[in-house]
Amino acid sequence: MENEMILYHGSREIVKWPEIRIQKYNKDFYFGFYCTIYAEQAKRWATRYGGTGYVNEYQYTKNEDLNIKIFPQMTEEWLDFIVACRLGKAHSYDIVEGPMADDTIFNYVQNFVDGKISREAFWDLAKFKKPTHQISFHTAKALTSLRFLKGSEVWDEE
């Protein structure tokens, strides 16, 4: 990964000051502030409830002092990590980056956790999904590596 990159966050509002919010449901990499390298993916996040949303753009500067975990692709380790996070197990990373378990993939993960499908069946189903990306910031120190650039209004076109 480069030292600096542009990241996007989709929201129902402009987010100049990112924060970590504890939500009702655990996410792929546990509670955190989630971004992506894909503007279109952030737009889907921003408009997932219909109507208008905002794609927030940030300059991310990698800080070598942070505890960063990167999953370059969906692997056994990635699957086990997501399962643990979705089940409520916290981790000690400042930042976690890797593929996203979108709604379809999450259903496969849940079926795997529930014992409805085998690990092998999960991988057979997951291999046909298009690439996604997420990078999540889990500590206040991690959030200091983001600098807000701008927020752009977007609309649900469906």
- Nearby residues of 39 by Cβ (< 8 Å), 6 or more positions away: 8, 55, 57
Residue 58 has a pLDDT of: 98
Helices (H), 72-134: 76-86, 103-113, 119-126
**In the chain, where are the structural domains located?**
4-155
Digitized pLDDT (tens) for each residue of the chain, 158 residues in all = 468 999 999 999 999 999 998 877 778 899 999 999 999 999 999 998 888 999 999 999 999 999 999 999 999 999 999 989 988 899 999 999 999 877 778 888 889 989 999 999 999 888 777 768 999 999 999 999 999 999 999 998 76
Q: Residue 141: which of 68, 42, 76, 57 has the closest Cα?
A: 68
In a 13 Å sphere around the CA of 37, the CA atoms on its Cβ side amount to 11
User: In the structure encoding, which two tokens stand for residue 72, read together?
Assistant: 């370059």
- The residues pairing with 152 across neighbouring beta strands, listed in sequence order, are 55
CB 18 within 8 A of CB 57: no
CB 132 within 8 A of CB 40: no
| Global pTM value | 0.89
Distance CA 44, CA 53 (A): 9
- The 10s digit of each residue's pLDDT in 68-108 is 999 999 999 999 999 899 888 999 999 999 998 777 788 88
